[in-house]
Chains A and B, each alone.
Chain A
């Protein structure tokens, strides 16, 4: 089954660009989603279908998927972006959702 690998942590200065990678054996036709988690708050979907943004998500958030790696890019990082970010795919061979291990984004 799928194993999604994320770096445990990424640090970035305000106003700079953060990139969070999500590696898989091969994504193939699977789409990648990204979620933002903050303590005590409902998680938020920030990217779906590799690169689509739900309404209300700032255009500073973007996503890409190329071969074995999907990337969440946050441009012009703000303090409020500090959170844990998780990638997710659907394992169509085994009919279950798989999450990456999560990346803690720290805004310096």
Chain B
């Protein structure tokens, strides 16, 4: 059964770069059937899609975050990663990685990681 696991620092200072990695088990991120996405949930708030990446490196980003976000993948390690630059306290959130079954109807996220809490604080 496919499993995804987020990893990375739980504390980031304001103005620095947030970096997270998602390790995919029992499944290949090189599959042509899926994208791989990041979603976040600030404390007490709803879900926000950050972006998704295809095995070829093609990406979609949330327009509201696009200027600060980079999603990349490492097929040799079966991992994909997220970077958010110039973070503020507003970027404090649980960050989820997920498999994105991108179809003619757009994205849907059929398998998720448990999430990683990242706090932005000095």
Contacts and interface: CB of A to CB of B under 8 A. Distances in A.
B114 A31 contact: no
A47 B41 CA distance: 20
A96 B63 contact: yes
Contacts of B89: none
B23 to A, nearest CB: 14
* Most chain B CB inside 10 Å of its own CB: which residue of A33, A96, A102: A96
| Chain A interface bracket (under 10, 10 to 19, 20 to 34, 35 or more) | 20 to 34
A45 B49 contact: no
Interface in A25-57: 29-31, 33, 35, 37, 40-45, 48-49, 54
A96 to B, nearest CB: 5
A42 B99 CA distance: 12
| Chain B interface bracket (under 10, 10 to 19, 20 to 34, 35 or more) | 20 to 34
Interface stretch (B26-34, B80-88, B104-112): B104-112
Contacts of B111: 42, 45
A76 to B, nearest CB: 25
A48 B107 CA distance: 10
Contact of A43 (B52, B60, B61, B112): B112
B71 to A, nearest CB: 13
B15 interface: no
Interface of A: 1, 29-31, 33, 35, 37, 40-45, 48-49, 54, 86, 88-92, 94-102
Interface of B: 4, 37, 39, 41, 46-49, 52, 60-63, 96, 98, 105-115
22 contacts: A29-B105, A30-B105, A31-B105, A31-B106, A37-B41, A37-B47, A42-B113, A43-B98, A43-B109, A44-B112, A45-B108, A45-B110, A48-B110, A54-B110, A90-B105, A90-B107, A90-B108, A91-B106, A96-B60, A97-B39, A97-B109, A102-B46
Given A42-B111, A97-B62, 10 more contacts: A1-B63, A37-B41, A43-B112, A45-B109, A90-B108, A96-B61, A97-B39, A99-B39, A99-B47, A102-B47
